[in-house]
Amino acid sequence: MLLGPALLVSAALFTIGVAGVLLRRNAIVLFMCIELMLNAVNLTFVALSQVLGLTGQVIVFFVMTVAAAEAAVGLAIILAIFRHTRSVDLKNITLLKG
């Protein structure tokens, strides 16, 4: 029963993902950090599904589907932005800045 250690690993992975979002300016790497955070949450669901029943694993299934949809649409948006600004660096994407 590796529940406690698995929750700690999940917390550390989520924190690394948050730190990545704060540290990087490349929009694609930002998306990868978001995937890292989603994976950390999936690990929490799987770890707790040992104790609380198999519903957690079903929810992991849904999270993966939503993550795949999010990656497809997000990367298409990045592609469109790249066509507009010739860059995926967030410092060049300031359309909403007053």
* Contacts (CB under 8 A) with another protein, residues 31-50: 31-33, 35-36, 39, 42-43, 46-50
We find the least distance from the C-beta atom of residue 12 to another protein, in angstroms, to be 6
Closest CA to 75 of 42, 35, 31: 31
Interface mask (CB under 8 A) for another protein, residues 6-35, using x and -? xxxxxxxxxxxxxxx-xxxxx-xx-xxx-x
Closest CA to 45 of 32, 60, 34, 33: 60
Give residues with Cβ within 8 angstroms of 81, minimum separation 6. Answer: 27, 88, 93
- 61 touches another protein by CB under 8 A: yes
Give the nearer residue to another protein in terms of CB position, either 83 or 97: 83
- 67 touches another protein by CB under 8 A: yes
